[in-house]
Chains A and B, each alone.
Chain A
Amino acid sequence: MLGSVLTLAFERPAIDWHAVAPELTLLGFGALLTLVDIVWLERGRAVVSALASFGLLASMVPVLTLAWDGADRSTFWGAYVVDDYALVMKAVFLLAGYVVVLLSTNYIAEGDYWENEYYQMVLSAVLGMVVMASARDLVTIFVALELLSIPAYLMATWRKRDLRSNEAGLKYYLMGVFASAVLLYGMSLLYGATGSTMLTDIDAAVSGDGAPLAVVTLGVIFVVVGFGFKVSAFPFHTWAPDTYEGAPTPVTAFLSVASKAAGFVALLSLVFVGFWGRADVYQPLMWVLAAASMFGGNLMALRQTNLVRLLAYSGVAQAGYMLAPLAVAGESLATADDALSSVVTYLAIYAAMNLGAFAVIIAVARRTASAEIDCYKGLFRYSPGLAVAMTIFLMALAGIPPLGGWFAKFEIVLALLSPGTAWGVALGVIVAVNSVIALYYYARIASHMWVEAPPESADFDTTTPIKPPTSVSAALVITGAATLAFGILPQWVGHFTDVTLVVALPG
């Protein structure tokens, strides 16, 4: 009897250790961080930040060796795939995580927050993102989403003695859980309609004529709405401004870049691998979401007086730009490749320029203790370096050549125009119109910094230059160099982000 139980046919999965090496490295450093806290107690505080950043950089090594190796790896029966697309996104997540750790180091140490636990949260969330980049089945995608979201909810409320941080965390948590429920419901509908959690199987099942169209449509809508919350697309953005404002600023940078990019990665895998053949379902949905996000985000950003809230709304608009190519992705295989490459390019460049903007905000807030736009008046007079850096990042976000943002927007518009459909052209025009609207509010901040005099009644020192701590300066240099390099040498980033996911279905 026992023998028959023990001889159940279980096939031990052949594990490709190289393919999962980045995740395992990150996991190892996370465990090490926990051990340091347990063994060294207070003495460990000095090294946790360095250990976390080293862990993130060390995880880049296997990513690079995998890229050097070049072969596409598909493990666990296709549930976990390492290809160019996954590797590029893993690199973006790891480097963005590294910059966030740089931004956090002084902020968390000086605020006397729970340092070790904070970096454990960062590493866990980045692990979730790195897994997400490779996940090609619904269960893994969902678990990766939770693994990156739950630490993020907690990090948003990390300044626990501040009511606004509590509000930020609670709002983010409630909206995020609600979005997860909607997403899970959509996933269960897709599983019910197709009988598989694998994205490739789902694609084969939903593309055919025999697919239960009504259920598939509902499933796709629910899944897209669920991720709409994560990437803060209009009208699912309502949590973003309050959460961004209340959360610790390095956490806000993390949410606005890494967390948003992770949502996009899942959305891209789902659209391009999972239901690419159902263009009639997702294209109109993406069109409406993209147009609404661009207009909604930009028009609301115009009225903001707080720079963090402004960046929250501008992030909504940026999500709109990135959703736009998905509205034409299903036209042909060539269009799909263009659309995917353009979104990946945008994500990489967006990460650099947005993290840079937050680095300046953190540096300036050390002096002014505020992110109100009025505090930036006359910044050039007393702190020209930071003013120049901020101008670079803002102009990059607006898409002014020769800074990184222009190439990102150019690729998006090119992808929209390439199929030559009326809907694609219309969305391209909307992107152009919105870039002009966005330029207005970015330029307004720049003029505050350059033209106006420092506020006389200010309760902070406006005569001596602001000296950011070394780690923040390092973050500024990294993001600034990346923003400039992406703009001046666009073929360089274009070479890396020229990725492909869609495989033509047989027949």
Chain B
Amino acid sequence: MTPSGVLAASASGGDLFVAQNVFFGMIALVMVVSAIRCVTTRNVVHAALWLVLVLAGAAAQFILLGSEFVAVTQVLVYIGAIIVLFLFGIMLTKASMGDDDSVAGEKRLMASLVAVLLAVVMGIALIDSYSDTRVVIDEPQRFGAVSDAIFSQYIVAFEAVSVLLLAALIGAIVVARKE
């Protein structure tokens, strides 16, 4: 059974996508370094800013894959909203803005162990499954196709999300409101 999505084995095997591969490598390197700095830095604000680089890198990778919609969403939602929320959260709570030694505390060994284990397992699984699969991008994914899918096959989920947002809003106001 051939997977029918974006990942499909190239029958021709002709195109090499040299430029894409070079850029992939560069962006991936930036992402890996930023991700490691994000969890090793002792400053919470710096960690949030390193995370911006990781997420921007992910958006760039989506552009390389021809998925504009996902890339734009990544920038708007993650960098535009979530990181800003992080920074506001750090500012509004009493977290220290400078270096904080307690951040890198006792649970460090366990956390890195889990991270390494997950990376190894995921790496082995992905290499085992896709090492001889080539990504072929026939044409970029169009915004129109995404909206068509949302308003046809996924319409129930879309409507459910709007109820979810309303419920979350009402509940959050009740919980956060001063009495």
Contacts and interface: CB of A to CB of B under 8 A. Distances in A.
A140 B160 contact: yes
A161 B179 contact: yes
A147 B152 contact: no
B170 interface: yes
A252 interface: no
A10 B179 contact: no
B4 to A, nearest CB: 4
A139 B157 CA distance: 7
B170 A117 contact: yes
Given A79-B156, A191-B5, A218 B122 contact: yes
Nearest to B145: A8
Interface of A: 5, 8-13, 20, 23, 27, 30, 34, 76-77, 79-80, 114, 117, 120-121, 124-125, 127-128, 131, 135, 137, 139-140, 142-144, 146-147, 150-151, 154-155, 157-158, 160-161, 169, 191-196, 204-205, 208-215, 217-218
B168 interface: yes
B167 A215 contact: no
B18 interface: no
A215 to B, nearest CB: 4
Interface in B116-154: 121-122, 124-126, 128-130, 144, 148, 151-154
Interface residues of B, number: 38
Contacts, number: 138
A214 B151 contact: no
Contacts of B3: 192-195, 205, 212
A214 B128 contact: yes
B174 A117 contact: yes
Nearest to B142: A8
Nearest to A144: B160
A215 B163 contact: no
B129 A213 contact: yes
Given A117-B171, A215-B126, 5 more contacts: A76-B153, A140-B157, A150-B164, A212-B130, A218-B121
A163 to B, nearest CB: 14
Nearest to A205: B1
Contacts of A114: 174
